[in-house]
Amino acid sequence: MTTCLWLVCTLVAIIGSVYAVLAGVLTSKFAGQPLPLPQKAEDVTLLKPLYGAETALEQNLASFCAQDYAANVELVCGVQDAADPAIKVVENLRAQFPNHAIKLAVALSRSCGNPKISNILSMFPLAQHDVIVLSDSDMRVDRNYVRDVVATLQQPEVGLVTCLYRGHAVGGIWSRLAAAAVDHHFLPSVLVGLRFGLARPCFGSTIALRRETLKRIGGFESVADTLADDYAIGEAVRRLGLKIAIPAFTVDHTFSERTLPQVLAHELRWARTIRLVDPKGYAGSIVTHPLPFAIAALLLSGFSAIGLIILATTLACRVFVPIQVERLPGGGQSSVWLSPLRDLLSFAVFVASFVPGAVDWRGRRYRVGSDGSVTPV
């Protein structure tokens, strides 16, 4: 039995190490791809559903206002509580950008399972332009973001544009660990999935589409009770026969977690969502966690020489991934030296995601149905 377990752990460690090298190589090639040139500058509405004055919110929103773009860009924000501290952040933003169209919707929550979509439904009547770009409040972008997104949306047969993202820590060790989950695991895994046709992503970092396309998929109302609303929107656009394009740049996902429980709650929600959306692919992602199996193989071998070699090789291959990610533009403070700890924590989250239970989302708890629907606890 011990020999069989050692063999299984060793095989997973070797396969995972090969996978890590492949992921690192694809990551190094990602930023070298050309970006399309815009055919014309179209007016754009940026949708920003807000909930609370999270750390770095004003800086994140300001990056969407400070765009180098030749047409009109309006920013539509929304909250569902007149006492929400995010309102003050929006007021500060208006003072900072007096010539920018910044709108705010304050409305009570609708009867939707997904509170973000409920917020968006209240905001959407304020949107004036044909090109709609929805993104989460914890995203930060550079000055060419709108230009590059619109240029990609203008390509033939493209119905939606989404963006890969890097982790950007704005706090201490826990926020760095959270950011490292994106840089060391999520981003490389998506690139591997795209390369081999195993991934069909659509991310909350950016969902850019035309008003007519949104209407054809049933509007935001069609995902009002869905946890993975971004994925569901992407699948609906694909069913129209349109493509989802991912331009060759990343945006920043800011992390401000201050405690380990905050990190785990956030990542467990992510993991359970992905498991529900793609159960087979998620189960297969066990090969992206070779380090715990290399450690297990070492212990089962009685600290043999071959066990030490496997562990050292696995560590080297895994560190190769964040080194390549760090060379990409954007991001910040995900820290290569955190890679071994990050790998062990990611594996713990992977295992815990198979345990039934509710998920935490913006301070609330929800039950998740087998179809991805959510209901408040």
Give the tens place of pLDDT for each residue, 207-240: 999 999 999 999 999 998 887 899 999 999 999 9
Q: Return the pLDDT at 172.
A: 86
Residue ranges in the chain modelled with pLDDT below 50: none
Q: Return the pLDDT at 248.
A: 92
DSSP string, 24-82: HHHHHHHTTSPPPPPSS---EEEEEE--S--TTHHHHHHHHHS---SS-EEEEEEES-T
Distance CA 56, CA 337 (A): 25
Nearest CA to 20 out of 187, 202, 264 is that of 187
Q: Return the pLDDT at 279.
A: 83
Domains and CATH numbers, the chain: 2-30+276-362 (no CATH), 44-264 (3.90.550.10)
Give the torsion sign (CA, 267, 14, 188, 336).
Answer: positive
Q: Return the pLDDT at 109.
A: 64
**pLDDT per position as a tens digit, 263-280:** 998 898 888 878 877 788
Distance CA 309, CA 2 (A): 19
CB 42 within 8 A of CB 131: yes
Q: Return the pLDDT at 227.
A: 78
Q: Return the pLDDT at 230.
A: 93
User: 143 to each of 73, 158, 218, how far by Cα in Å?
Assistant: 12, 23, 32
